[in-house]
Amino acid sequence: MAGSDARIVGPSGDRYDEVLTPEAIGFVTDLQRRFGPRRVELLDRRQQRRQQAAQTGKLDFLDETKDVREDTSWRVAPLADLTDRRVEITGPTERKMLVNALNSGAKVFMADFEDASTPTWHNKVQGQINLTDAIERRIDFTTPEGKDYKLKDTVAALMPRPRGWHLPEKHVLVDDEPVSGSLFDFGLFFFHNVQRLLDKGTRPYFYLPKMESHLEARLWNDVFNHAQDALGVPRGTIRATVLIETIPAAFEMDEILYELRDHSYGLNAGRWDYMFSMIKTFRDRGAEFMLPDRNSVTMTVPFMRAYTELLVQTCHKREAFAMGGMAAFIPSRKDPEVNEQALAKVRADKEREANDGFDGTWVAHPDLVPTAMAEFDKVLGDKPNQIDRKRPEVHVTAAQLLAANETPGDITSGGLRTNVDVGIRYIESWLRGNGAAAIHNLMEDAATAEISRSQVWQWVHNDAKLADTGETVTAALVRSVADDVTAAVRAEVGDDAYDGGRWKEARDIFEEVALADDFVTFLTLPAYDRLD
* Catalytic machinery residues: 161, 445
The DSSP 8-state label assigned to residue 368 in this structure reads G
The one-letter code for the residue type at 351 is E
The string of DSSP letters for 125-159 reads HHHHHHHHHHHTT---EE-TT--EE---SS-PEEE
Residue 435 to residue 177: CA distance in whole angstroms = 25
Residues 304 and 297 sit within 8 Å (Cβ to Cβ):
yes
Q: Which residues make Cβ contacts (< 8 Å) with residue 441, sequence separation at least 6? A: 329, 330, 331, 332, 338, 342
Crossing angle of helices 475-493 and 446-461, in 10° steps, is 140
Region at 409 (left for phi over 0; alpha for psi -120 to 50; beta for the rest): left
For the chain, what's the residue count? 532
Residue 278 to residue 447: CA distance in whole angstroms = 13
CB neighbour burial string for 200-223, b if at least 16 within 10 angstroms, e if fewer? eeebbbbbbbbbbbbbbbbbbbeb
> Which ranges of 136-213 does DSSP label H, i.e. alpha helix?
181-199
> Which ranges of 381-474 does DSSP label H, i.e. alpha helix?
398-401, 413-431, 446-461
Region at 165 (left for phi over 0; alpha for psi -120 to 50; beta for the rest): alpha
Residues 214 and 259 sit within 8 Å (Cβ to Cβ):
yes
Residue 149 to residue 143: CA distance in whole angstroms = 8
Cα dihedral angle (110, 116, 120, 124), rounded to 10 degrees? 0
Phi, psi for residue 324 in degrees, rounded to 5: -80, -175
Residue 460 to residue 196: CA distance in whole angstroms = 52
Taking alpha carbons only, the member of 452, 511, 449, 523 closest to residue 476 is 511
